[in-house]
Structure 1
């Protein structure tokens, strides 16, 4: 499909509302460096002149980043078998794990959001639980008319846009999955995390070369801009676009005319009914909602609780460490972390991006409460249509809403979830109640009696991902998500031995 200029302009404008939402920190954080322990294997390539313009995958020009990864994919698919892919992935895991504290430190210092200790855990999660080639299964159909083999083939070169909320985690997760599928990838990272992403990408490429792999299996442009996003969308060499971020970005990419895998926004509701283990629910909700200052799109964003057990839930959450805001404090926090505009239809609230991912204790200090640095989560009792309920905040502020009946609670939860179909959870010992909410909410991830982190393998079974592709249907992405199905047929009874 030919992309018209007006479509390109719309793509760029919409994508960059998300991509350029934060201004990058100028100060260069002190970092460790990774040096190969032995000379990397040399792989000859017709694109060696282009490759020389980059530094372990980081290029000044997006065109060079695209060209280098495009040529690298040709070599990769021709000369490297599945066992070779797995060898490279194993080396990436090894090196990334050795540098996990550096990655977390760099990201925290550059972006100024989230918590260092939780970023360590997030990076470890993707290092250890992102599947490699093991999920690429070959299917065979044999009959009187012959043999058919169905295999997963690479798309080729993938263009990927990554968020500021999980920058290095998304790169590690995407690279492992994409090269497991035989692809290469060029990243357009969030400008506010470009330094930590560059370090991460160079670390990965050094590891690949040390393990005997080709250069530039993953590349990025050093200075991501609106023009570099446009170049990814326009390039004929890019066969697949992957966007991890907000809904508007996904909608923009879908207008490119290319195959798109998109991970959109979420505002995950939690329901706690009267049959639940309330102390356990409080512990799990606190753990999930406070993790990395609630930056994860799948983290608990609002709680709906049966009015008969609401007081108990709040009591146990305070016992876990949450701080309950009174009415006056709630208003001050609202004025601090939200902005608003008055329209003919009423007041419209927006998230103040200055406070996204900031510590709860820092918020309390900003409204005059001292010695609260240890506080990880703020909770408040509100009505079901409160701005804190309806907005995806990405902050450690958790609204709690009482309901009289389960049907009322589900109705409130569906309104707050906005039809994103991303993530939801419920605490209950009643299977019928759990089933009722799960069927109503229709989310990609539905977690029962645990924090939503379990939905991506953190304290739960199954593999992990940082690209939860609800809008485009791939779900919890892995290597298979980044492949296309190919069928090879031997007809007329050929190879039939029975």
Structure 2
């Protein structure tokens, strides 16, 4: 196909370039001037290469534009077909999608681990079930279209309307759970979605996408409601989608570069930020519960969930007992000798950060590579640290079952250390405190520049709404703290345009009503009780 299209370009074709260049060469030979011959030969090579590269580049760009346009146009048509579906029909479709993914949860998890080499099957299966069934339960019965509320006194009615076509980035760390999550929240608002999976997970993404389109067909919905880039995706292609005039919104869950590209695109977007949650363990903490929460959370899917714990900050009076509690739960708290050996294995000296191949690997395997052994299976590696600095690879986000441990004199010093850690990495994301002192909880909440403050809860499960009252979500905003547009756990309501119908009220009417009610309340109060 490329060769055929190549022949129809308006610019001179390859053969014409050769003919023209050959004439130059013959002329030079006729004059028997060696220098001119060599110069002519150089011109031939340069012109052929230049013209061929230019034509190929143009063809590739044109093909990419056509590909992007076609997907977006089909998504626009599909969205219009369902924008007036009643709530019951949408909810039945969402239920069918959630149940189908749940049926294949383990199969998808195995495929994701095999392809990406990140995380583990058991926890990815749990994430798939959460992102399908639990997210569905949070959506069913909610209003995603039409009238939301009526304020009779103010004469204001609010109505929900779709945003249109959403473009969503899907990270390699959660290739299937984030995929189905974004599909469900988009369809609840009668939106279409085009997903851009990570190149590391193109195979499992294709399988999940086909599964979803099969369900759409079974329920009379156009399959083009959910599309995804099926070939090896490039950053250029993703940016072309982001900047397309008919893409209405971007859900950017991915690396910092792509999140920034989403905000630069000119299209409305919600992005996420890096995690690096500090955990303050106060003197009154239930250490058994705290240790169990930390190990369960940070070992979950081999530590790749962004809202998991990254830095333990323990008050000195309880730190020894806390270390013992961690070890009883399966963590390996390293000695100084082990710490040095471990860092030599997992840290890239050129970048002073964890080696990429460490991400999402089993703690037991990482420990084995460093010659670290315990009499129990190692679920988590805890690395004692002292310096709160960008130069400390243990003070930044760690997408692995690895935690730093800082010891502080008291809770006030601990809060300062937590702030300093967030300033290095993780602003706006999550912070955790283990205490039963309401004064400490309030002070911690005020001081932490984050969107989620978890109290006595595991970071991973609490942050995504699995073991907390937060909205179930796999896209966690970081607010202006972290350079994003919301502090929320993102859900379907972020993908709605809210219309407000306001009726005329004479100037001062509402204020007068309020004054009259206040006046009557004051006058009648003495006659009651």
Distance in 1 (CA, whole Å) between partners of 2:116 and 2:377 is 21
1:220 corresponds to which of 223, 228, 236: 228
Displacement of 1:279 in angstroms is 1.3
Displacement of 1:96 in angstroms is 0.8
Structure 1 residue 354 corresponds to structure 2 residue 357: yes
**Between 353-362 and 384-393, the greater mean CA deviation after superposition:** 384-393
Query: Normalising by structure 1, what TM-score?
Result: 0.81
Structure 1 residue 481 corresponds to structure 2 residue 484: no
Equivalent position of 1:134 in the other structure: 141
Equivalent position of 1:434 in the other structure: 441
Equivalent position of 1:92 in the other structure: 97
Displacement of 1:369 in angstroms is 4.5
Q: What's the CA shift string for 1:412-465, capped at 9, x where partnerless?
A: 111112261101111011111111111111321111011112232222234311
Number of corresponding residues: 426
Distance in 2 (CA, whole Å) between partners of 1:139 and 1:247 is 37
Matches within 5 A, 1:3-42: none
Displacement of 1:371 in angstroms is 8.6
Equivalent position of 2:239 in the other structure: 230
Distance in 1 (CA, whole Å) between partners of 2:244 and 2:376 is 48
Structure 1 residue 71 corresponds to structure 2 residue 77: yes
**Between 348-357 and 385-394, the greater mean CA deviation after superposition:** 385-394
Structure 1 residue 247 corresponds to structure 2 residue 256: yes
Matches within 5 A, 1:380-395: 380-385=383-388, 387-395=392-400
Contact 2:253 2:475 in 1 (8 A): yes
Contact 2:332 2:374 in 1 (8 A): no
**SS where residue 201 of structure 1 aligns?**
helix
Unpaired runs of 5+ in structure 2? 1-65, 479-483, 507-529
Distance in 1 (CA, whole Å) between partners of 2:148 and 2:500 is 10
Q: What's the CA shift string for 1:346-403, capped at 9, x where partnerless?
A: xx62231111111111112212347989322111211142624322110111111100
Equivalent position of 2:115 in the other structure: 110
Distance in 2 (CA, whole Å) between partners of 1:221 and 1:251 is 20
Structure 1 residue 321 corresponds to structure 2 residue 327: no
2:413 corresponds to which of 408, 415, 418: 408
Query: Normalising by structure 2, what TM-score?
Result: 0.77
Contact 1:294 1:395 in 2 (8 A): yes
Equivalent position of 2:14 in the other structure: none
Equivalent position of 2:430 in the other structure: 423
Whose helix fraction is larger, Structure 1's or Structure 2's?
2
Distance 1:411 1:169, change over 3 A: same
Unpaired runs of 5+ in structure 1? 1-59, 342-347, 494-498
2:210 corresponds to which of 194, 197, 202: 202
Q: What's the CA shift string for 1:108-158, capped at 9, x where partnerless?
A: 1111011110111111111122132534370112248xx432112111001
Displacement of 1:275 in angstroms is 0.9
Contact 2:239 2:261 in 1 (8 A): no
Equivalent position of 1:267 in the other structure: 276
Q: What's the CA shift string for 1:22-62, capped at 9, x where partnerless?
A: xxxxxxxxxxxxxxxxxxxxxxxxxxxxxxxxxxxxxx944
Distance 1:183 1:399, change over 3 A: same
Higher RCO, Cα 8 Å, sep 6+: 1
Displacement of 1:330 in angstroms is 1.5
Contact 2:291 2:329 in 1 (8 A): yes
Distance in 1 (CA, whole Å) between partners of 2:487 and 2:452 is 12
**SS where residue 400 of structure 2 aligns?**
coil
Q: What's the CA shift string for 1:222-257, capped at 9, x where partnerless?
A: 121122112112211101111012333322211111
**Between 460-469 and 253-262, the greater mean CA deviation after superposition:** 460-469
Contact 1:155 1:183 in 2 (8 A): yes
Distance in 1 (CA, whole Å) between partners of 2:395 and 2:258 is 20
Distance in 2 (CA, whole Å) between partners of 1:227 and 1:373 is 48
Displacement of 1:104 in angstroms is 0.7
Displacement of 1:340 in angstroms is 2.9
Larger Rg: 2
Distance in 1 (CA, whole Å) between partners of 2:451 and 2:161 is 25
**SS where residue 104 of structure 1 aligns?**
helix
Distance in 2 (CA, whole Å) between partners of 1:381 and 1:318 is 14
